[in-house]
Amino acid sequence: MLTPCNEWRERLAAFLDGEGSTTDTTQIVDHLAQCPTCRAYAELARCDAQDVAAALCAPQAGPGFAARVMAQIAVTPMDTAPETPPAPQARQSFWKKQLFPGFGRVVEALTVIALVAVVGSIFFPVFAKAREKSRQTTCLSNVRQMATAIAMYQQDHHGQFPAASNWVLALKDNGVSEKMFLCPISSSVPPAVDYSYNAALTGKSDRDIDFPSEYPTLWCSRFNHVGTIMGFADGHAKYIPGVKSIDDFRRQQLADLDTAVDMRKKPLEASPSGHAAETPPSSGAPAPRTTMSAVEVSGTAQPVENERHALAVVVPPTPTVMPPAKNYGLADKLQIAYTVDVSIESDDVKAATEKAEALLNQRDGFVLSSSYQRGEEQQPASASVSGRVPGEKLGVLLVDLDRLGTLVSRTVNGEDLTATHLAHLETLDSLRGAQGWLEKIEGNAKRTPDALNAESRRNDVSQQAAGTRVDEYKLKLRVTLADITIHITGKQPPPVSVNPFQKSTTDSLRALGAFSTGLGALLLAILVWIPLWGPLLVIALYLRKRYLMK
């Protein structure tokens, strides 16, 4: 069979039927002049078309056909024109025409619904989460503002908290607007109040609260399905996940206190040194749990008395080692009694920072946050490390930190205790000296008959040593955890003359680096999204071609 050039086949057929466009006709005529195969095919096809037309038109209507039709038409009434013309079709928008040329059919509608459902199912949780977070932030801002207003009220009233009966009025007088009493999650109107005030604060002042940072003053009564937002007596506010009501918060605090007390008791009972066995049984009742202050429960002095008894009799035992409290939760937060702030000046700030972090970990503590600011032309490098360590390790840590550089200041709970700490170190040194003296006396006593005198001196020194140890133990038992912040600053570098050309080059390189990073992030985002959206896009295009482009 004669086969024309493939790309001309259908155009040639259309041309022979008189359907080709002007451009096609010119091109086809040119092609036929060059290609004998297509020319032969065209002749054949023309012959075919004539034969087909002749064969198809061969059947003719019978002679009476027209008469029959007209006879039937004569008795057939013509339909009247529709009285109400069909409503004009609404004009489609450009994008509607492009995307959905045949919009309105069931398949298209179902396809669109399915696509919308898929996209919606992807994005709806994201949007809902963002909205929830936004409301949470607004509510937190309200609570923080109210907690600040309470602090302002206290300043005007000698530390007295507002009474539960008029706390709203008191807060309004201190700058809290009516709108701030409404949680964004509720649909209440301004006279309503969506926040609850701690009625136990009525008649109390800040002196009655031992741990203001853990004592709730008010909380949101609406935003409580995944956690609650709570303001505290020290003026700060925070979101507490997992706590749905103030009762939940109390229960959690008490459970944490139980854990804390257990942690404290265990090492005393299980101490192998024997001093705990000699201590008299505890006569004190368990600490009352009716208050929310952690210190009132955990700050019992009973073990200190036991230690005093033990230390007065025997040689000071090895200090009880607390188990490494790496699981610092709310229980540990409640035991934070000391906030320590240390400033150090060092030649190598970066190395000092790393050492400080290592020391915190070495002393069974942990790093909460660490920041390092690179030195500029006029400003030396600086760093800040904050973390927590068990109380008994605080002293050792402070001594270790002295080696990092030159000590600038050391404050404990806002009080500058640099001098006290140095004095304490001197006391320890003198104690070591006293112990050496004791050993010397004991050695002399063996050689001299004046044993009584030596015994007397030994008792004196022992008393002195025991007193010091008792002070240490008081400190140790009270300070279970210490919150420490270490500021390290570098020394002022000498002024360096900077070549302006070099500086501009450096800036250009930095800008180029930032641009490259941004471009890389964009490409990465596209690469991540293409596998997610690519198949969906292909399906959508296929469905469009399959159903909509007919």
Partner 1 sequence: MMDDIALIEATLSGNVDAFGGLVQQYQHLLVASARHLTRSMDDAEDLAQDALVDAYRNLRHLKDHTKFRAWLFGILRHKCLTYLDKRRPPNVSLDDYADSLPAPPHNDGAELAELLDGLPLPQREILAARYVQELSYEEIAETLGTNVNAVRVRCCRARERLRELFQARRLEGGVTC
Binding site for partner 1 (CB under 8 A): 1, 9-10, 13-14, 17, 19, 44-45, 47-49, 51-62, 65-66, 68-70, 72-74, 76-82, 550
Q: How far is the CB of 542 from partner 1 (least distance, A)?
A: 19
Q: How far is the CB of 519 from partner 1 (least distance, A)?
A: 43
Give the distance, in angstroms, between the CA of residue 236 and the centroid of all CA atoms in the same chain: 19
Q: How far is the CB of 106 from partner 1 (least distance, A)?
A: 18
Q: How far is the CB of 91 from partner 1 (least distance, A)?
A: 19
The one-character DSSP state at 81 is: P
Output 17 or 426, the one with its CB closest to partner 1: 17
Is 217 in contact with 147 (CB distance < 8 Å)? yes
Q: How far is the CB of 122 from partner 1 (least distance, A)?
A: 36
Q: How far is the CB of 86 from partner 1 (least distance, A)?
A: 11
Collapsing DSSP to helix, strand or coil, 175 comes out as coil
Please, where are the H alpha helices in 195-348? 246-269, 275-278, 294-298, 302-313, 330-334
Q: H or E element: which one contains 481?
A: strand 481-490
**Amino acid identity for residue 479 in this structure:** V
Output 61 or 496, the one with its CB closest to partner 1: 61
Output 67 or 523, the one with its CB closest to partner 1: 67
Residue 313's contacts (CB-CB under 8 Å, 6 or more residues apart) are 278
CA 389 to CA 479: how far, in whole Å? Answer: 10
Q: How far is the CB of 50 from partner 1 (least distance, A)?
A: 9
Q: Is 452 buried (19+), middle (13-18) or exposed (0-12) by CB count in 10 A?
A: exposed
Output 45 or 257, the one with its CB closest to partner 1: 45
Residue 380's contacts (CB-CB under 8 Å, 6 or more residues apart) are 349, 489, 490, 491, 492, 493
Q: How far is the CB of 74 from partner 1 (least distance, A)?
A: 7
Output 14 or 407, the one with its CB closest to partner 1: 14
Output 10 or 262, the one with its CB closest to partner 1: 10
Is 217 in contact with 233 (CB distance < 8 Å)? yes
Output 73 or 358, the one with its CB closest to partner 1: 73
Q: H or E element: which one contains 279?
A: none
Output 66 or 524, the one with its CB closest to partner 1: 66
Residue 364's contacts (CB-CB under 8 Å, 6 or more residues apart) are 322, 324, 325, 326, 389, 390, 393
Output 49 or 263, the one with its CB closest to partner 1: 49
Q: How far is the CB of 112 from partner 1 (least distance, A)?
A: 23
CA 258 to CA 67: how far, in whole Å? Answer: 112
Is 56 in contact with 23 (CB distance < 8 Å)? no
CA 517 to CA 135: how far, in whole Å? Answer: 33
